């Protein structure tokens, strides 16, 4: 499995079906660009999914993705599931 932190990538055919690999690819594109802020803004402009994700992050976490996740899980009554996910990701 690819890791966001390690930068390992899966073969192309696997990454098309693996959401983690897709996120890794986008992160690598941004971080490896000459202007990461501009690359990030370009992805936001071109992707309705990225725009929706940023809206949720801003709405539920005031720009903080981890806090947005926690607040969103709390608002949907899925606190236990959220804690399990954070724990498996090593974030709690």
Residue-by-residue DSSP string for 6-23: T-----HHHHTT-HHHHH
Rounded to whole angstroms, the maximal C-alpha distance in the chain is 42
pLDDT in tens, the chain (92 residues): 333 333 444 444 555 678 888 888 999 999 999 999 999 999 999 999 999 999 999 999 999 999 999 999 999 999 999 999 988 888 87
pLDDT (0 to 100) of residue 14:
52
pLDDT at 15: 54
């Amino acid at each position: 499995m690819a890791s966001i932190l390690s930068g390992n990538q899966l073969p192309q055919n696997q990454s098309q079906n693996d959401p983690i690999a897709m996120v890794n690819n986008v992160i690598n594109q941004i971080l490896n660009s000459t202007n990461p802020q501009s690359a990030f803004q370009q992805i936001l402009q071109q992707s309705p999914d990225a725009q929706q994700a940023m809206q949720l992050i801003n709405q539920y976490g005031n720009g903080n993705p981890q806090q947005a996740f926690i607040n969103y899980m709390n608002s949907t009554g899925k606190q236990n599931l959220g804690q399990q996910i954070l724990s498996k990701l090593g974030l709690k």
